[in-house]
Structure 1
Amino acid sequence: MLELKDFMPINYLKKEKFTGSHQGMRFRMEKAELDGEERPKLKVTVWPEPYGYDATPQDEKTETFLEFDADGLSKGVEWINEQFESQQLRWKAVSRG
């Protein structure tokens, strides 16, 4: 299980994207400016290995948008863990090759 301490703080995400992987699942957190929204959102995306974000087709990615603050970051980590648990066969199929 991934923990909040393993992620970059929200101040880092103001300028950079954060990516990582966990047992066949890749993830990315980034600041997102959405049309019609006054405040930025935290975009959190997961997808199966082996490819990076840009090389993976959009239909293989699952994403959510949260508040761009420390609470949103914490909820983002929880969401990544939920995705890992709920789609275990998807990640294991990739890690087995």
Structure 2
Amino acid sequence: MIDLHGQAGLPYINRGVYTGSYEGMRYRLRKKEEEDKKTLEAVIYPEPYCFEKTPEDQKEAREFSFTDEGFQQAIAWLNEQYEARQERWTEAKNASWV
């Protein structure tokens, strides 16, 4: 289970991009600004490559409000995506180091 309490939060993400991985699933959280609106973008993608080297068709993104509640929703979404696609992430994990 992904638990980012104490590791990342909105103050960190407000200044930069947070990336991590869990059992074959990589993820990225960042602040996204368009006009006067700030959102929290969460992206998931399979191992082994970094965000920039992973093909776009292998990434899935979702936006949340840039609030503590939105941050909690983003973490919940990451965990839901891991559970829903666990086979995909396990395959990525096993294939990434071969």
Alignment correspondent of 2:21: 21
TM-score (norm 2): 0.91
For the residues of structure 1 that align with 2:44 and 2:81, how far apart are their CA atoms?
A: 8
1:49/1:94 contact within 8 Å kept: yes
Alignment correspondent of 2:80: 82
Task: Give the RMSD, CA atoms, in angstroms.
Answer: 1.2
For the residues of structure 1 that align with 2:91 and 2:48, how far apart are their CA atoms?
A: 11
**Could you list the runs of 4 or more consecutive aligned residues of structure 1 that deviate by over 3 angstroms after TM superposition?**
none
Aligned in 2, Cα 1:14/1:84: closer, same or farther, shift over 3 Å? Answer: same
Between the two proteins, what is the percent identity of the paired residues?
Answer: 34
Query: What secondary structure does 1:5 align onto?
Result: coil
Alignment correspondent of 2:43: 45
Structure 1 stretches of 5 or more lacking a match?
none
TM-score (norm 1): 0.91
Alignment correspondent of 1:67: 65
Deviations 1:14-34 (A, max 9, x none): 110000000000000000123
1:4/1:74 contact within 8 Å kept: no
Structure 1 range deviating more: 79-88 or 6-15? 6-15
Length, aligned pairs only: 95
